[in-house]
Structure 1
């Protein structure tokens, strides 16, 4: 028997070589490459990624409308298992199932400490630098350093993240399903529940019936909305939208007048709540003008092109309308997202109905084509 009472055990973590999908430049497919993933440093976690959603903002990066430093490993809504931890990490341990979230929660900054704030000041979402907090990256490919995305990077078999962006979840959660609870669902579901605070019996309008808009529909339905009007130029989405709870589907191209006028005429006074889940200035204005001029609430969710400007007549607000926006549905990432996973496990949130395709990692570019074609 060996007495270890006065000894310390030193575990030396090694560099992991694995596959990752790298964005070398815009307007080009992702390249699946062999990458080296460094061990986690203090306050960091290395994670084996089991599944990742493809978000519209990933596509905005690839088409150049949302610039980030390249080359980079994209992806910011993932589920996986902790492989190793750096010094000082206490909230997760190797073997834990986790969600990887682009919006951190340091629990120390002004926003994290505020009851309503959720935009952690250590986030790397806007004017992204694509590096860890120490100004370096943990990814190397072909001898070149590769940036991360929002401190997350889920389009890889292994990633390294800051502990403040990692949320421990139920050990029974199916990793192939819950990855979209890291971004798409809380962003949209929370927009209805937390930001708009949809009321029972109300009328809601959702602009855009893709993944984000569909999750808004689930939130409106859960809040008790009596009428949900869905708007999209792709009528192929209508059958699925109605299955989720949309009561009326409108294609703006089928009308000679602006769609906001159509909505006001349909409802008589305008909708109680409207949601913009597309990301164009035109649809943001249309969503605002679709809601009741006295007490209507409009929530903007779509990511507009960088440097675009929203211009509107201030009289549109003076009568009492409210224009709002939100990030991650106002949820504090590490505190609240695991609770959404619990709700999913209790069948309170129908995550499965929002998953339209499941593809192997090597077909990631096919996933982007499905997204662009409107089949996602």
Structure 2
């Protein structure tokens, strides 16, 4: 296959000549996880051709999300499937397409989305939902939707399982066409920044815009200042929230958070009283919108009680892998507070991401601060260490 190259200043790519690998099995590098928490093994694997309504992509940039970390560590036994290729946040270029694919073609710039949009099911046709009946987020899914088999295998032919409809920790990957969004026109974003729209930034900003519909002058509390939490802050800042309170046990995150819209910082370790009481004091009774981005049920309770009685809304974004149930008594809902979950920020991938990319390109949402590290793909284990240590928001891996 010809090497793609930058064609212009906005990061668009093109192929020098038609693909030489179409219809053939590709040998390439991938980071394979062979067991829960085991170091990733960067090795040659086989990537088989796309089948009907599938797309094979050359990944150019991929990054690591806490969801990758949680499932790789095996915190939820029901999600374990090894060997496996993780990763779900990436930008790349279409290498080839399978039968029936018409929305993208060889050479198109695309991003992968873990929450697909087929455009035909009852969920996709509903304006109130961004779910998809066949291609929605499903961390337990480990094979392709079409025929229930894998497109990855070891050099000696043993299958390697898929992850979250995407599996981007590979130089080439195969996705259902419902999980591929073309983004090569109408924006001025670099390929690096496009990668962020696959998950983290879209999830956080979308939660503020679509799920909560944050309004100007409102009070916001964000529990967990990772990439998703800071994306919520960016979204709230863009909407004109007057007070954005960030809650995190890592004091080093406050400087970065300030640059992304956070006006107040609370470290629970420094507080003698419950965090929700401290937030109530800062906001005259509670915030309009609280966002739980940690996946901790105890934090979820603080987030819920931080919302103002009568109208406060709590949005759940954290991945709760434990079997523990909501720490909320039903009668507490009679105080007028509401709680709702948000997947991919309420964005319908194919329908909404192109416009969102344009907005980001115009500076409505600032993306540069989210990329804190860049490493060659072979150093993926170091990238995970940075995330575990709380030292990175998004570490961009490149081939």
Query: Could you state the TM-score of these two structures normalised by the residue count of structure 2?
Result: 0.89
**2 CA distance for matches of 1:89 and 1:39?**
13
**2 CA distance for matches of 1:43 and 1:293?**
48
Mapping of residues 145-184 of structure 1, within 5 Å: 145-171=159-185, 173-184=189-200
The residue aligned with 1:265 is: 281
- Do 2:139 and 2:163's aligned partners in 1 also have CA atoms closer than 8 Å? no
**2 CA distance for matches of 1:124 and 1:31?**
28
**2 CA distance for matches of 1:95 and 1:115?**
31
The residue aligned with 2:234 is: 218
| Deviations 1:267-301 (CA, angstroms, capped at 9, x unpaired) | 22111111011111001111000010111111110
**2 CA distance for matches of 1:47 and 1:127?**
21
**2 CA distance for matches of 1:308 and 1:337?**
34
**1 CA distance for matches of 2:283 and 2:263?**
13
The residue aligned with 1:93 is: 105
**1 CA distance for matches of 2:63 and 2:324?**
26
Structure 2, unpaired ranges of 5+ = 1-20, 393-399
Query: Could you state the TM-score of these two structures normalised by the residue count of structure 1?
Result: 0.95
**2 CA distance for matches of 1:106 and 1:306?**
30
- Do 2:142 and 2:163's aligned partners in 1 also have CA atoms closer than 8 Å? yes
**2 CA distance for matches of 1:256 and 1:127?**
38
The residue aligned with 2:124 is: 112
- Does residue 70 (structure 1) correspond to residue 82 (structure 2)? The answer is yes
- Do 1:124 and 1:130's aligned partners in 2 also have CA atoms closer than 8 Å? no
Q: What secondary structure sits across from 1:48 in the alignment?
A: strand
Q: What secondary structure sits across from 1:80 in the alignment?
A: strand
- Do 1:85 and 1:94's aligned partners in 2 also have CA atoms closer than 8 Å? yes
Equivalent residue in structure 1 for 2:345, among 292, 315, 329: 329
**2 CA distance for matches of 1:12 and 1:143?**
20
Q: What secondary structure sits across from 1:32 in the alignment?
A: strand
- Does residue 338 (structure 1) correspond to residue 317 (structure 2)? The answer is no
- Do 1:293 and 1:316's aligned partners in 2 also have CA atoms closer than 8 Å? no
What root-mean-square deviation, in Å, do the aligned CA atoms of Structure 1 and Structure 2 show? Answer: 1.3
**1 CA distance for matches of 2:283 and 2:193?**
37
Q: What secondary structure sits across from 1:72 in the alignment?
A: coil
The residue aligned with 2:10 is: none
- Does residue 42 (structure 1) correspond to residue 58 (structure 2)? The answer is no
- Do 1:293 and 1:317's aligned partners in 2 also have CA atoms closer than 8 Å? no
- Does residue 14 (structure 1) correspond to residue 24 (structure 2)? The answer is yes
Q: What secondary structure sits across from 1:98 in the alignment?
A: strand
Equivalent residue in structure 1 for 2:40, among 30, 37, 47: 30
| Deviations 1:309-359 (CA, angstroms, capped at 9, x unpaired) | 113122321021111111001110111112221222222221111111111
